[in-house]
Amino acid sequence: MRTATAPSPHERLKTRYGDNCAAAPFAWSDVIDHLLDHRSVRKYLPDPVTDAQLHAILAAAQSAPSSSNLHAWSVVAVTDPDLRDRLSQLVGNQPQVSQAPMQLVWLADLSMLHQASREKEQAAQGLDYLEMFLLAALDAALASQNASIAAQSIGLATVYIGGIRNQMDKVAQLLGLPPRVAPVFGMCLGTADPARPTAIKPRPPQSVVLHRNRYDSQAVMPGLQHYDEVMQRFYKSQSMEADSWILRSLNRVATPASLTGRDRLREMLEQLGFPLK
């Protein structure tokens, strides 16, 4: 239930979209209010994540939808400081990976089905196809988002670490992953440092992502230009370099080198036992 001091729906929407976007009426609930309060946190207290918290978060993760009820994902909870330091180096020296008391490494995991096929002496040729890796990666993403929402609901904070894919093969070796298991992203988990508060980052207007019946390409660029202006104001408010979000994003995809090692993704996945037919 919302408290008297909680932001109003209008204030939540204004923060999330960067200006007064609520011209149309919005349905509302405590769940929506909770979701719009999400923020990525990169500064953590050393307080450990308890087993009770972890098990509750995992139960929420396992309550996410799973394609064909295959549950083709798993997760490694890394609390060892040395392992976290080594992970931090592999993901581009991101300090929050070392600082957060727990790093959840989410896995696309086909090894369970492979083991079951051997145990039952049944064929499992479908595991060699791109569809099954995609299914496993999507299942991991759905589960992790449930986990992030659950963590926030019990007073913890998270931030996703896509840099896990920079050197996916070395992360797999570090964590002792068997064949047909790939680390697809990480997630810092812990208590946010109240002395280093994190702002809510604006999102593009709904006209960029919502299409009705058919894709409307003409609506995209006007919405992105508007978002670019919103983000420049946000950067200034956070004492960040106030350049263009569009140019920042294009720099991120300009060359293979811009992918920070992930241009080798197919090669690394094949090494990890995913033929990707």
In whole angstroms, give the CA distance from residue 263 to residue 255. 9
* Whole-angstrom distance, CA of residue 29 vs CA of residue 9: 9
pLDDT at 200: 92
Class of domain 28-196: alpha beta
Contact indicator for 166, 140 with CB cutoff of 8 Å: no
Residues 6+ apart with CB under 8 A from 34: 149, 152, 153
The pLDDT, as a whole number, for residue 2 is 47
Which residues, 6 or more positions from 124, have their beta carbon under 8 angstroms from its beta carbon?
113, 114, 116, 117
Closest to 182 in 3D by CA, of 23, 277, 79, 74? 74
At 219 the three-state DSSP class reads: helix
> Would the pTM count as exceeding 0.95?
no
Tell me, what DSSP letter sits at residue 218? G
What pLDDT score was predicted for residue 113? 96
pLDDT at 1: 42
Per-residue pLDDT of the chain (277 residues; tens, 9 = 90+): 445 578 888 888 888 988 756 555 678 999 999 999 999 999 999 999 999 999 999 999 999 999 999 999 999 999 999 999 999 999 999 999 999 999 999 999 999 999 999 999 999 999 999 999 999 999 999 999 999 999 999 999 999 999 999 999 999 999 999 999 999 999 999 999 999 999 999 999 998 999 999 999 999 999 999 999 999 999 888 888 778 999 999 999 999 999 999 999 999 999 999 999 9
Q: Which residues pair with 208 in a beta bridge?
A: none
Q: What 8-state DSSP symbol labels residue 164? A: G
Is the separation of the CB atoms in 75 and 106 below 8 Å?
A: yes
